[in-house]
Amino acid sequence: MASKLAAEEAVNTACPAGVAQPLLLTYDALPAWLQDNAYVLQGYRRPQYSWSGCARSVFGYLHNETVNIQTHLFAALGFLYLIFNVQDTHIGYTTLTWQDRAAFTLSLLAAAFCLIASALFHTANCHSPNVSKKCNALDYSGIIVVSVGSFYPTLHYGFFCDHYLKIGYIVAITVAGAASAYVVLKPDYATPTYRWARTCVFYALGVVALVPLVHAYFAYGLTRMQNEMGFHWLGACICFYVVGGMIYGCRVPERWMPGTFDYFGASHQILHVCVVLAMLSNYKAMLTGFEYWHGQRQGICDA
């Protein structure tokens, strides 16, 4: 309680008694725990120290986290809709199994969890240092969960008739995800200093996911990958993640024109849009594989 009061007093010292506190702060007026991107100069919410204050900021006024919150909040609602209506996708297909249902459900749940965790973090990162750190860890967890969970349908349909190989790759990507979680959830890695380290860990997890794709290319060829995995959609998904991650890591375009992209168009906001587009591309890839195996092939493998 004492530290909370001290922090509140430190932020409020610039305001004389009886003068209303500004709703938003500049970067230089922020406490150290809220300073992350020196190229975004204004539009920061005051430390709230209450959940109600954080909640009011979701729709109550414009700030430099508004786009980050709302892009992933509304996208999460979209994926929750897909989860609750997943059976509509399977109507008319008689050969699907519990594995198909599991692949769809886990992939959609992973996407929804990632988006909800992200929206929660960007809503609550102005609450207090302790809450911000915990929500930041939840945000990283969501990234790892979606990186692993969204790949299950790719492995299921890409190695549909190679059961043991499919299981082996599923175990491998799951273990790699757990190892990545161990690294990025360490408290030291939550600081801005390790921005690139975090990005590289996520890229390393992506490299692990490339192994079965390369295997499929040499074993089956590009045409089969297109049919069975929706590889063109997977390619789009990968591009969105890579481009978004590079923009986030380089902090462009705000690095070039500090203060210009404080509310709209900053690197983190671009990353959020890229993440949603990547998830939608992955969903289309999943539908492509499902339609091929249960529409065209009727669930039948070659003899």
Q: What are the tens digits of pLDDT across the range 67-86?
A: 999 999 999 999 999 999 98
Contacts (Cβ under 8 Å, ≥6 apart) of 265: 253, 254
Helix, strand, coil content of the chain in percent (nearest 5): 70, 0, 25
122 labelled ligand-binding: yes
- Tokens 């430190």 locate to 10
User: Is 90 assigned a ligand-binding role in the annotation?
Assistant: no
For residue 43, the model assigns a pLDDT of 98
Q: How confident is the model at residue 5, as a pLDDT?
A: 46
Q: pLDDT tens digit string along 152-162?
A: 999 999 999 99
- Alpha-carbon distance of 73 to 107, in angstroms, equals 18
pLDDT of residue 303 exceeding 90: no
Q: Rg of the chain over CA atoms, in angstroms?
A: 22
Here the tokens at position 137 are 């860890």
Q: What is the pLDDT of residues 220-264, one digit of tens each?
A: 999 999 999 999 999 999 999 999 999 999 999 999 999 999 999
- Is position 232 annotated in a ligand binding site? no
pLDDT, position 184: 78
User: Given this model, what pLDDT does residue 204 score?
Assistant: 79
Which residues is 24 bridged to in the sheet? 45
- Check whether 7 has a pLDDT greater than 90: no
User: Over 70: is that where the pLDDT of 17 sits?
Assistant: no
Rounded Cα gap, residues 260 and 52, in angstroms? 30
**pLDDT given at position 15:** 52
Position 13 scores a pLDDT of 44
Nearest of 142, 146, 150, 137 to residue 183 by alpha carbon: 137
| Per-residue model confidence (pLDDT) at position 223 | 95
Confidence band (pLDDT; 50, 70, 90) for 16? low
Average pLDDT, the chain: 90
Opening angle at CA 267, ends 261 and 269, nearest 5:
85
Q: Per the structure block, which two tokens stand in for 74?
A: 């509304």
| Structural domains of the chain sorted by starting position, each given as residue range(s) with its CATH number in brackets | 66-296 (1.20.1070)
The per-residue pLDDT for range 161-175, each reduced to its tens digit, is 999 999 999 999 998
pLDDT higher than 90, residue 9? no
Task: Read off the pLDDT of residues 175-210 as tens digits, 9 standing for 90 and up.
Answer: 889 888 887 787 766 666 776 777 777 777 878 888
7-21, 124-138, 262-276: least confidently modelled range: 7-21
